[in-house]
Structure 1
């Protein structure tokens, strides 16, 4: 799957020393607006508004062992459903990016994982029969 994320309007403010901050509706706080954070916030909005994933089941910068996954979406039973690694828009998505999200998923065991730089989104899953990673063409509907 390769798709781009629409541009959404966000609440942004300037800090005391001129730094920009964006309001994260998941964490309910202002966070420094860095290029990767912009991609993360855009992707959160896309998951909620276009894919209809519940905001209450999205975790931002979720601790995974000694790392932090950018986004983890949980199903209604509290099990990881989707793990997402976000990169700034100037970063080319690569095998390294995929390996990073797979490292998180080795602990989380979500059936789906994605990588994005805001301009491209790739979704993956594992084929349970062959145990091979497969690129998917569309996001799965959120499980009921």
Structure 2
């Protein structure tokens, strides 16, 4: 797989039926390794190892209802009180992060109401803080560490 713009993390792999899978610590199972999954698994390690977010507050690939349509978010991080703190949209490395990607995460966030957003293709990362009063997002250099958000 392609080298991404993250630190080097160690992963558990297995090969079954000519498909490589990687172990997801959050879902506690092996997931077929696709380019988008490669990005997602790196983001999870970034949250745990570099930002100190507890695994128990991270959720990966769950269904949400946007109006009457079912969609699947990539990663959310909860606050201890159950509110969603951070919503992350992962794309495979060859997907250009453009306005359409930001529109997608914004639509998801109308329902989820996360305070922070992250959009990444593994090479380029964008971090935003929501300003719900002004109905806009403010770009940041990074998301807060877990200790700083409490």
Q: Secondary structure at the match of 2:22?
A: strand
TM-score (norm 1): 0.92
Asked whether 1:87 is paired with 2:91, we answer yes
Distance 2:8 2:121 in 1: 13
Provide the residue aligned with 1:133 in structure 2.
137
* Greater relative contact order structure (CA < 8 Å, 6+ sep): 1
Distance 2:14 2:82 in 1: 34
**1:132 Cα deviation after fit:** 2.3
Q: Secondary structure at the match of 2:101?
A: helix
Question: Any idea what the Cα deviations from partners look like across 1:3-61, whole Å, max 9, x if unmatched?
Answer: x322312101101x210000000000011001000100001000110011111110000
TM-score (norm 2): 0.88
Q: Secondary structure at the match of 2:77?
A: strand
Provide the residue aligned with 2:102 in structure 1.
98
Q: Secondary structure at the match of 2:56?
A: helix
Q: Secondary structure at the match of 1:37?
A: helix
**1:79 Cα deviation after fit:** 0.6
**1:128 Cα deviation after fit:** 4.4
Distance 2:7 2:99 in 1: 25
Q: Is the 2:36–2:93 Cα contact (8 Å) retained in structure 1?
A: yes
Asked whether 1:5 is paired with 2:6, we answer yes
Distance 1:131 1:91 in 2: 26
Structure 1: 4+ residue segments shifted above 3 A: none
Structure 2: gaps of 5 or more residues = none
Correspondence 1:97-116 to 2 at 5 A: 97-116=101-120
